Amino acid sequence: MDPLILSRIQFGANISFHILFPAITIALGWMLLFFKLRYNATGDTAWMRAYFTWVKVFALSFAMGVVSGVTMSFQFGTNWPGYMETVGNIAGPLLAYEILTAFFLEAAFLGIMLFGFRRVSNRIHTLATVLVAGGTTLSAFWIIALNSWMQTPVGFEMRDGVAHATDWWAIVFNPSMPYRLVHMLLASGLTVSFLIAGLSALRYLYGDRSESMWKALRTGVFTAAILIPIQIFAGDQHGLNTLEHQPQKIAAMEANWNTGPNVPLVLFALPDEAARENKFELAIPDGASLILRHSASGVVPGLNDYAGNHPPVFPVFWAFRIMVGTGVLMLVVSWSAAFFLKRRHSLPRPLALVMVPMALSGWLATLAGWYTTEIGRQPWLVTGVLKTVDAVGPVAGSQVALSLAVYLILYALLLIAYLGVLVYLALKAAKDGDTSPLPGVLDAPLSQPAAK
Amino acid sequence: MTLDWPTLLPLIFAGLMGLAILIYVILDGFDLGIGILFAAAEDAEQDTMIAAIGPFWDANETWLVLAVGLLLVAFPLAHGTILTALYIPVFLLLVGLILRGVAFDFRAKVPAGRKHRWNRIFFLGSVIASLAQGYMLGIYVLGLDVGLGGMAFGALVALCLAAAYAAMGAAWVIYKTEGELQKKAVLWLRRALVLTALGMVAVSLATPLASPRIFDKWFVWPAMLYLSPLPILSAVLFAWLWRQTFHLPKADDRHSLTPFLTLAAIFTLGFAGLAWSFYPFVVPDRLTIWQAASAPESLAIILAGTVVVLPIIIFYSFYAYRVFGGKATDLTYD
C-alpha cells in the first residue's frame, strides 16, 4: 500500500491513543490537588482515600501517556522527515520547551507524588502535586501552541523553502491558539469529571455508600455541570475563530457546498464528495448563517471556493456532529445528576446506570473534536506552507504496514487492559469502602495533621 | 574555526545531546537491566526490585525523550536520516518501551492472579528495548550499514548492550537491597560483566575498522598518546570491578554503590571514545553537526530555555533520588 496513507493512519492511530491519556492527566492532576487541599483544610481522611484511589489512575494514565508520547517523538523522524526539514526552526523550539519545562517537571516529581506521601512532609507532598499538575498543563500549553501554529501559521518567513521565525510571540500566541488551548483544557476537565462521576456511579451501583465515594461522585458531577456550559460557549467561540482563519474547515464541518446567504444548519446528511452534494439531508433553514454570522442572510463560505484544496467532507462533518452530540448529552446527564445530588441527596438508579458508560464520553468527544480539527486541516500539514504529501519519508510501504499492524494490536490490547484495571480499581474501592487501612494518614501524627 | 554563534550553537547542542544520551544510558540502563534480570528472580524478589526503581523510571525514560527531542529540534536533517534508516529497530524499541512502561504499572494494579502475566511482559519489553538499542548502536557505528554484515554486527552489539544493562541493573540491586537478593545480584553482575567487556571491545575495534577516517583519528602520533587513557582506564576499571565481585557484599554494606559508579564511569569512558570517533559528524561520514543543524536563531531560543531548566532538572533529580535513597522498601501510594 501507499506509505503516505499508511503513515497517516499510523500517526493518527498513535496520536489518538496518546491523547486519551493526557486528556485524563492534565485535569486529574488538578483534581488530585483539590482532594489534597480539602484534606489539608478539613483533616477528613475520606478526601485522602479519594486521593489514593485516583492517584493510581493517574499513575497508570501517566505511564500510558509517557510510552505513547515517546512513540510520537520518534515518528516525526521515522515517518515525516519533511515536516522538520521545512518547519523545524519553529516546531523545534516549541517541542523543546514542551519537553524541557513540562515533561521533566511531571516525571521527576511524579515519584514523590505517587510514593512519597510517607517519606516527605505533607507540605512537600502537596507541592509535588502542584508541580505535577502544573507540568501537565504547561505541556499542553506548548504542544497546543505548536498545533495551533500549524493550523494558523504566522510570525515567520520562508527562505529557500525553509521556515524561519521572525516573531516568537506571534508564533506562540497565534490566532487560533488561545481558543484551542481553552477548548482542550476544558475538554480534559470534562473527561476527568465524567470519568470520576462514572466510576463513582459504578461503586454506587455496587452498594458502596462510603464517604470517599460520595466525595468523589459529587466532585465529578458538580465539576462536569459547571464546565459543560463554559465548554459549549468556548467551542462556539473557537468555531467563529476557525471561520475567520480556516473557512474551508467550517465549510466541511457544515457540509456547505456553495458559498452564499441563508445557509441551513445541516443536522443529518451523507455528504457525497463526487457529486458535491448532500444525500438524505435534514436541515434547519438559515441555521448555519444564524450561528456563524448572527443573521439569516449572513454569507457562509462554501466548499466551491476551495475546489481541490479542502478537507474530505464526510469525516469532518460527522466527527463534528459526534462531538456536539456528546456535548449535549453531557449537559443533560451532568445537570440531572447535579440536581438530584443537590436537592435530593441521592442518585436514582437509572441515572447511575447512564452515568457509567458516560465515564468515557469525554474521550469520545475529545477524539471527535481532534478529528474535526486535524482532518479539517488537510490537505495541509502546515496551512499554506507544507502539504502532508510532501512530508512523508522514504520508508517502504511494507515496513509501515508491519509497524502499523503491530501498533494497532498493541493499542487495542492495552486499552482493554487499562479499562479493565479502572473497573477493577473502582470495584476494589467499593468493596473496601471507608475501611481500608491508611497507615500514612492515620499512624503518622508527627508528619501529618491530626486526622479527625 | 572561528568562534561565532553559528559555529558554537550546533557544538553546544551536540554536547547537550551527548550528555542526555549518556545520562539516559546510565539511568534507564539500570532499570532496563532490572527488567532483564526479572527472568532470574523469584516472585518476592521481583517486588523488591521493582520497588528499587519505582519512583525513578518515569524520569529516567524522559531523558530518552530529551535526547531524541534534541536530535529532532537541533539536528532535524539527522533525525530524519537516522530514524528512517533504522525504521524497524526504532519501532521494536518503542514496542519494548511501551510494553515495559505499562507493565510496570499494570502489575501492581491488576488482580493478584494476573500479576505473572505482566511480570513476563515487563521482562519481554525490557529485553526487546535493550536489544533494539544495542542493534541501533551497532548499525550506527558502522555508518548506518544495513547489509548482512551490519546486521550480524548489530546483533552482537545488541546482545552485549543487553548484558551491559543487566550489569547496571545488578549493580543497582546491590546498592538498593540486602541479604540473599544482594548476594544473588553480585553473581548476576559477574556474569553480565563478561559480555559487557566483550561488547565494548567489539565496538571499539569495529568503529575504526569500519571507517578509515575514524582510524586516522585514533592511530596517529601524538593523538594516540592523549587518547590512550580511555581504553587503559576502562580496562583497569573492568578488572577492578571483576575482582570486587568476589568480595561483595562487604560488612556494614560498605561500597554497595561502588559497582554502580564504576560501571557508570566505564560507560562514560566508552561514550567519550565514541564521541571522539564521530565528531564532527552526526550522521557518520555524511552529515556534520553544522550541516544538520537548525537555524542559529532557533537554536538560541532553545538554548535560553535549556540553560535555565537543565540545572533545575538535575537538582531535583538528585532530590528525588535522596528522598527515595537507602534500601528499597515496599512501594505504597498511601
> Is residue A434 a contact partner of residue A203, using CB atoms and an 8 Å limit?
no
Q: Are residues A172 and A41 in the same domain?
A: yes
Distance from CA of B53 to the nearest CA of A (A): 10
**Chain A partners within 8 Å of B320 (Cβ):** 108-109, 111-112
pLDDT, average across residues B288-312: 83
Q: Which A residues 378-407 touch B at CB under 8 Å?
A: 393-395, 399, 402-403, 406-407
Lowest mean per-residue pLDDT among A314-328, A381-395, B117-131 = A381-395
More confident residue, A102 or B327: B327
Question: In terms of CA atoms, which chain B residue is nearest residue A410?
Answer: B95
Supply the mean pLDDT for chain B: 84
The answer as to whether B275 is a domain residue is yes
Are residues A76 and B79, on separate chains, in Cβ contact within 8 Å? yes
Listed residues A376, A395, A427: the one ending a domain: A376
**Chain B partners within 8 Å of A410 (Cβ):** 95, 98-99
pLDDT, one tens digit per residue, over A236-260 is 888 888 888 888 888 888 888 878 7
Q: Are residues A290 and A347 in the same domain?
A: yes
The answer as to whether B3 is a domain residue is no
Identity of the amino acid at B157:
V
Question: In terms of CA atoms, which chain B residue is nearest residue A168?
Answer: B301
Residue B312: the pLDDT is 78
Distance from CA of B90 to the nearest CA of A (A): 8
Closest among A224, A147, A236 to A183, alpha carbons compared: A236
More confident residue, B110 or A341: A341
Q: Which of A52, A55, A108 sits opposite B59 (nearest CB)?
A: A108
Are residues A417 and B70, on separate chains, in Cβ contact within 8 Å? no
Q: Helix, strand or coil for residue B56?
A: coil
Query: Which domain range does residue A20 map to?
Result: 1-176+383-452
Distance from CA of A370 to the nearest CA of B (A): 23
Q: Are residues A144 and A290 in the same domain?
A: no
Most confident of the following: A82-96, B122-136, B212-226, B312-326:
B122-136
Distance from CA of A64 to the nearest CA of B (A): 6
The answer as to whether A187 is a domain residue is no
Residues of chain B with pLDDT > 70: what percent?
A: 98
Distance between CA atoms of residues B310 and B63, nearest Å:
11
Handedness of CA A148, A151, A155, A161 (dihedral sign): positive
**Chain A partners within 8 Å of B112 (Cβ):** none
What is the DSSP track for A229-270? HHHHHHHHHHHHHHHHH-HHHHHHHTT--S-BSS--EEEEEE
Handedness of CA A130, A132, A138, A140 (dihedral sign): negative
Enter the DSSP assignment of A210. -
Residue A389 has a CB neighbour count (10 Å cut-off) of: 15
Model confidence at A195: pLDDT above 90: yes
Residue B61: the pLDDT is 78
Listed residues A376, A405, A431: the one ending a domain: A376
Question: In terms of CA atoms, which chain A residue is nearest residue B53?
Answer: A111
**Chain A partners within 8 Å of B323 (Cβ):** 111-112, 116, 119-120
Q: Which of B74, B77, B94 sits opposite A74 (nearest CB)?
A: B94
Residue B2: the pLDDT is 67
The answer as to whether A139 is a domain residue is yes
Q: Which A residues 137-196 touch B at CB under 8 Å?
A: 162, 164-165, 168
> Is residue A340 a contact partner of residue A351, using CB atoms and an 8 Å limit?
yes
**Chain A partners within 8 Å of B283 (Cβ):** none
Residue A443: the pLDDT is 47
Distance between CA atoms of residues B54 and B104, nearest Å:
8
Residues of chain B with pLDDT > 90: what percent?
A: 8
Q: List the beta bridge partners of residue A300.
A: A260
The answer as to whether A188 is a domain residue is no
Question: In terms of CA atoms, which chain A residue is nearest residue B110?
Answer: A421
pLDDT, one tens digit per residue, over A159-171 is 888 888 888 899 8
Distance from CA of B44 to the nearest CA of A (A): 19
Cell 435530593 locates to A344
CB pairs under 8 A between A and B: 222
Model confidence at A275: pLDDT above 80: no
Model confidence at A394: pLDDT above 80: no
The answer as to whether B110 is a domain residue is yes
**Chain B partners within 8 Å of A441 (Cβ):** 334
The grid cell for B51 is: 520497588
pLDDT, average across residues A143-151: 92
Q: Are residues A131 and A221 in the same domain?
A: no
pLDDT, one tens digit per residue, over A112-129 is 888 878 778 888 888 888
pTM comes to 0.83
Residues of chain A with pLDDT > 70: what percent?
A: 94
Query: Which domain range does residue B168 map to?
Result: 8-323
Q: Which of A64, A73, A138 to mutate to test the interface with B (most CBs of B within 10 A)?
A: A73
**Chain B partners within 8 Å of A107 (Cβ):** 58-59, 61-62
Q: Which of A74, A129, A149, A442 to mutate to test the interface with B (most CBs of B within 10 A)?
A: A74
Q: Helix, strand or coil for residue A34?
A: helix
Q: How does residue A357 score in pLDDT terms, banded at 50, 70 and 90?
A: very high
Enter the DSSP assignment of A121. -
Distance between CA atoms of residues B105 and A210, nearest Å:
26
> Is residue B71 a contact partner of residue B80, using CB atoms and an 8 Å limit?
no
Are residues A85 and B76, on separate chains, in Cβ contact within 8 Å? yes
Distance, first Cα to last Cα, chain A: 65
Model confidence at B134: pLDDT above 70: yes
Cell 459543560 locates to A228
Q: Are residues A100 and A30 in the same domain?
A: yes
Tell me how many domains chain A contains.
2
Q: Are residues A341 and A391 in the same domain?
A: no
Closest among A450, A429, A431, A452 to A49, alpha carbons compared: A429
> Is residue A191 a contact partner of residue A26, using CB atoms and an 8 Å limit?
no
pLDDT, average across residues A373-399: 83
Enter the DSSP assignment of A377. T
Q: Are residues A102 and A85 in the same domain?
A: yes
Q: Which of A78, A403, A421 sits opposite B109 (nearest CB)?
A: A421
The grid cell for A69 is: 508520547
The answer as to whether B234 is a domain residue is yes
A120 touches B at CB < 8 Å = yes
The answer as to whether A54 is a domain residue is yes
More confident residue, B207 or A226: A226
Q: Are residues A84 and A222 in the same domain?
A: no
Are residues A55 and B316, on separate chains, in Cβ contact within 8 Å? no
Model confidence at A449: pLDDT above 60: no
Long-range contacts of B240-248 (CB under 8 A, 24+ apart): B241/B193, B241/B266, B242/B190, B242/B193, B245/B186, B245/B187, B245/B189, B245/B190, B245/B193, B246/B190, B248/B174, B248/B186
Q: Helix, strand or coil for residue A158?
A: strand
Q: Which A residues 78-117 touch B at CB under 8 Å?
A: 78, 81-82, 84-85, 88-93, 95-97, 99-101, 103-104, 106-112, 114-117
Model confidence at A448: pLDDT above 70: no
Residue A436: the pLDDT is 67
Q: Which of A17, A76, A104, A432 to mutate to test the interface with B (most CBs of B within 10 A)?
A: A104
Closest among B314, B301, B315, B317 to B13, alpha carbons compared: B301
Tell me how many domains chain B contains.
1
The answer as to whether B107 is a domain residue is yes
The answer as to whether A15 is a domain residue is yes
Q: List the beta bridge partners of residue A157.
A: A164
Are residues B81 and A64, on separate chains, in Cβ contact within 8 Å? no
The answer as to whether A290 is a domain residue is yes
Q: Which of A73, A88, A393 sits opposite B84 (nearest CB)?
A: A393
Enter the DSSP assignment of B328. -
> Is residue A18 a contact partner of residue A68, using CB atoms and an 8 Å limit?
yes
Q: Which of A89, A107, A111 sits opposite B324 (nearest CB)?
A: A111
Residue A438: the pLDDT is 66
Are residues B332 and A440, on separate chains, in Cβ contact within 8 Å? yes
The answer as to whether B1 is a domain residue is no
Q: Are residues A300 and A428 in the same domain?
A: no
**Chain A partners within 8 Å of B321 (Cβ):** none
Q: How does residue B278 score in pLDDT terms, banded at 50, 70 and 90?
A: confident
Model confidence at A104: pLDDT above 80: no
Q: Are residues A349 and A436 in the same domain?
A: no
Residue A452: the pLDDT is 34
Q: Are residues A35 and A134 in the same domain?
A: yes
The answer as to whether B75 is a domain residue is yes
The answer as to whether B332 is a domain residue is no
**Chain B partners within 8 Å of A55 (Cβ):** 333
Cell 493518527 locates to A12
Residue A34: the pLDDT is 92
More confident residue, A108 or B180: B180
Lowest mean per-residue pLDDT among A319-333, A432-446, B144-158 = A432-446
- Give the relative orientation of helices A81-97 and A122-151 as an angle to the nearest 10 degrees: 150
Q: List the beta bridge partners of residue A272.
A: A277
**Chain B partners within 8 Å of A67 (Cβ):** 97-98, 101-102
Q: Are residues A277 and A293 in the same domain?
A: yes
